[in-house]
Chain A
Amino acid sequence: MITVFIEPDNETMTFVRLNTVLMLQRRLGLRVNDALVIRGEELLTPDCQLKDGDQIRVRKVMSTG
């Protein structure tokens, strides 16, 4: 299972089958540069593989005022 924490919404989601960051972005309805995808202290590019047990932070970048 992959756990995803979404900022600034402060929402947590879990996914069973996700192979890559791109798949995660598509599942969340995000375009490639809509959000930072972070694992630990590392930024992930869309082609990065995700694995079971990953804790991922998705930080949306669009400022709204």
Chain B
Amino acid sequence: MKCRKCKAPAEVSLPSHNTAFCRECFSIYFTRQVEKAIRHHSLIKYGERVLVALSGGKDSLGLMLELSRLEYDVTGLHVDLGIPVSSPAARAKVEGFCERHGLKLHVVELAKHGLPIPDVKQYINRPVCSACGKIKRHWFNRVALEGGFQVLATGHNLDDEVARLFANTLRWDAGYLSDQGPCLEAESGFARKIKPLYRLTEFETACYAFINGIEIHTAPCPYSSGASFTGHKQLWANLEYTSPGTKIAFYDGFLKRGRPAFALVDQETGAPLAPCETCASPTSTGVCGVCRLGITVAERRAADPGRQPGPGKD
């Protein structure tokens, strides 16, 4: 297989684009996809400070590297979930990556804020992935606003976005369908949220990480087995295999024709937001969901005889 551009031996085959690239031409293709996303959706202006959420995986670290190469003013944010074994490993990858590339990094430790994810799993009666996502999004936004960042960037790729859109569509969730997309403008206490990798698949971001020698955290979260998200991704991988190009067509079609319609519906039904009474994050319920989680976890932890401080315990 030859590179479509320079005819050198190809290293990356992309059936969705009916093409293949050598590693040099693939890097150019990757950069152009990111630039196209930024340009078409006005994601970032030069001079703006960008906070990049870093999990330690291929997508977030690849995004950070690419944005820094495009000379955007980027700072990494890692949320240490406090999960034994898994979280220290992920954090080490993020810290090593930022040190190697001379990139700024801010770390939030959930244990210091009373919400380590193992406690959330133990004391909160709802799917832990849902609560964990809520807590992470809370801290992404809070650090962005408190740190004076104009933009919050996440490494969501095309597979993530299509799986999420599919899940939202299965529920006909007008609220989420009204604002899913590569850019969510800043408003009502929220920083502008962007997804510059939305045009690139997981395979492409994995190739980019490999080609650029990025050491990534690959172990799956010990709490995420059975997540419906993974099943949806499998389903879409089958569709893409039989009809290459289906994912980007579905997502682009939604952005052009679906989202505007749902945005109109949400304007009529969306609840007004006000600052949380405890942390000032925007909420429609007085005290925000994450502060309520914190209160519940603290109460149940205090009432748990297995967690009482005593001889032999810290």
Contacts and interface: CB of A to CB of B under 8 A. Distances in A.
B237 A63 contact: no
Nearest to A7: B218
B231 to A, nearest CB: 10
A31 B241 contact: yes
B129 to A, nearest CB: 6
Nearest to A42: B11
Contact of B10 (A45, A63, A65): A45
Interface of B: 1, 10-16, 20, 23, 57-59, 129, 159-160, 201-203, 205-207, 210-211, 218-221, 223-225, 227, 229-230, 233-234, 237-238, 240-241
B13 A45 contact: yes
B206 to A, nearest CB: 4
Interface in A13-65: 31-34, 36, 38, 42-48, 59, 61-65
Contacts of A64: 220-221, 224-225, 227, 230
Interface residues of A, number: 21
Contact of A65 (B15, B58, B220, B241): B220
A49 to B, nearest CB: 11
B241 A32 contact: yes
Contacts of A62: 159, 202, 230, 233-234, 237
A62 B231 CA distance: 11
Contacts of B238: 31
A50 to B, nearest CB: 14
B229 A65 contact: yes
B26 to A, nearest CB: 9
A65 B237 contact: no
Given A7-B218, A33-B15, A36-B207, 14 more contacts: A8-B219, A34-B203, A34-B237, A36-B203, A38-B210, A45-B10, A48-B1, A61-B58, A61-B205, A62-B230, A63-B58, A65-B129, A65-B220, A65-B224
Contacts, number: 77
A63 B58 CA distance: 9
A32 B230 contact: no
Contact of A59 (B23, B210, B240): B210
A46 B13 contact: yes
B13 A65 contact: no
A45 B11 contact: yes
25 contacts: A31-B238, A32-B13, A33-B14, A36-B203, A38-B210, A42-B11, A43-B11, A43-B23, A43-B210, A43-B211, A45-B12, A45-B13, A45-B20, A59-B210, A61-B203, A61-B205, A62-B202, A62-B230, A62-B233, A63-B59, A64-B221, A64-B224, A64-B225, A65-B224, A65-B230
B224 A36 contact: no
Contacts of B218: 7-8, 59
A61 B241 contact: no
Nearest to A63: B57
Contacts of A33: 13-16, 201, 203, 237, 240
A61 B202 contact: yes
